[in-house]
Structure 1
Amino acid sequence: EIEVIVQTAPDAPVISASGATDLCFGESVTLTVENICDGCSVSWSNGQTSSSLEAMTEGTYTAVITNACGESSASNELTITIAPAFVPMITLTNICQLTGPSGGSNYQWYFNGVPIAGANTQSWMAQDSGMYTLSMNNGMGCNGLSAPITAKACVSGTQDLSTPLSVAVFPNPSSGRIFVQIQSVANTSVQMKLYDIDGKFIGTVLDSEMNAGKQSFEVNLPKLPAGAYKYSITTTAGVENGDLILQPR
């Protein structure tokens, strides 16, 4: 007597998500195939074969399970959407009044890459001259970080308009050696700080004194990747901010 067993297609699997399927840029969610029959293999629409995967790209995900006889069943469809990267835009007015986008939450202002205590509103008035950035969530709850923007202090105890100053930084672009030329009507200290394009402090590259008149300082910059950087030059007459392009060495 011969016993014949007819193998039927397995029950349809079900895909579930570990969290929300509407994601912010840079987020991911774990998708898992449930109701997998014994001995069945799994094949996702993106080619993966494990029972779960980390969905990091936008699209519609499905899975197929197949038994030993080659009978298959397809799962439900699960669609993942990913919002575009959110980069808040800062508006600067009157050289010192900073304003971020409205309708957001979790505002945090940064000065030279360091969080400013209590600076948690849409607008901020610069207390010091330098680079400011803003971190915030948009209306979808997605967090973003602005590009740095330079602002002057609304009120500065070191700024003295009776001591005019001119500053020149050259060559720019540079391969690593620059000259900082200062012209001042009074004796002054000179300090130059370097930041990356996101406003993170790299280091102080010049810290000196000079007499009234014109003087050039030679500065050999640390070895850094080619690209765009920010600088801040502080004297007793005020602060001068600018951009510096480094070329490959």
Structure 2
Amino acid sequence: MKKIFSITFALLALSIYSQTLHVHSITHLRQTNGGQYTLDGTLISGSGRMKLVSASNFGAGGVYPKSVTITDAYGTSNSIVPVVTFPYDDLFFFGAFDKFESTTIQFTNAEIDSLYNWSKRGGRVIICGSSGDSGYNPAVLNSKWGFQITKVVPSSLVANTAGLATDIFNGPFGAIDSAQQGGTMQGYFSTMPANVSVLATDILNRPTMIMNCSTLDLIVADMDAFTSLSGSVTAGAGITNDQDKFFTNTFVFMDKLQPLPQITTGSATLSLNATFNAYQWYLNGSPVSGAINPTYTATDTGNYSVEVTFNGGCKQLTDPIHLTTLQGISEIKTNNLLPLFPNPANGEFTVLLSGETSLITVTDISGKEIIKTQSSQKSINLQLNTNGTYTVFVKTKYGTSSQKIIVDR
């Protein structure tokens, strides 16, 4: 078992510290008319895209030492569904598409759900929003991600304190304090998800760039902040104005965004899989006084979790791990590495362990115990239970690990 975990963590580290940023973008063939607001569309292909693929900007010896590859695909119905299998350090750039445009191949619920679930599990998404009117409807992801944009022209993206602390406004391509929106569909967020970090506003302090802290996605109120419309982002690979800096720095910010936090432990010392901006450790749901460092040495048994702060100001609390002893713990699974599949599930899923007998418990959102069984490999059937989020606990001789699973039929 120890070798299995060593290999897993090694692969995770190689993925996180890869020297290439893989960007996925929906091809302009998904909507052949209109502005083609995507990375191979007419308003970006000769400007922002050129900057991303330039070795002088992105690559060994460039301004940012990672190269960028762009996959232009997903032009047919349901073609985004396989995103759930993509590595979590990839980046998905979702441009603007008009639901009223006759050439638009409409996005299915299955595609949107797959992208959302991939993002919830650690995938990274840049969402290019836009306001709309009676003849233009770009609200493809708005409902799932929980935002609405109200039209106001002109509008802007003025960095607030949180924004100025990010690479978006203070990154390797240069420091700026604001960027501009463009065109006739500018605006601000009049509705936002419950848990967000605002990074930029308009001059009336209305939010125009946010991070959804549940998915860690970046959402911009106007796609034209990234396009060449009216000369905003300049043609070619050069970085010559603030809009160029804003565009390139945004990709750096998303690439450097930390992965979902995972607690690891050997003996009684708890640590994390990445470096975050701030920490608060918890024991049995209560904050531990003074426990604000990247590692924590446990002095009591119980359920430990940690709230971390990401680049951009979002905070997330890990699922707890359970320590039953403080001495001689040689390994324990982290929640996100618990071998549980598929997730989301249609009601049936499998928990797979390395041949040892383990106690598997499933609880519903209220904490009520639904299933308890002892096995080394177990197919769990929740098809008679309602759709929703359940928690799976696996207890081994090394401790207890937990992970949430979504049942969606």
Q: TM-score range by the shorter chain?
A: 0.3 to 0.5
Which structure has the highest strand share of the two? 1
Structure number with bigger Rg: 1
TM superposition score normalised by structure 1:
0.40
TM, length-normalised to structure 2: 0.27
Greater RCO, CA 8 A, separation 6+? 1
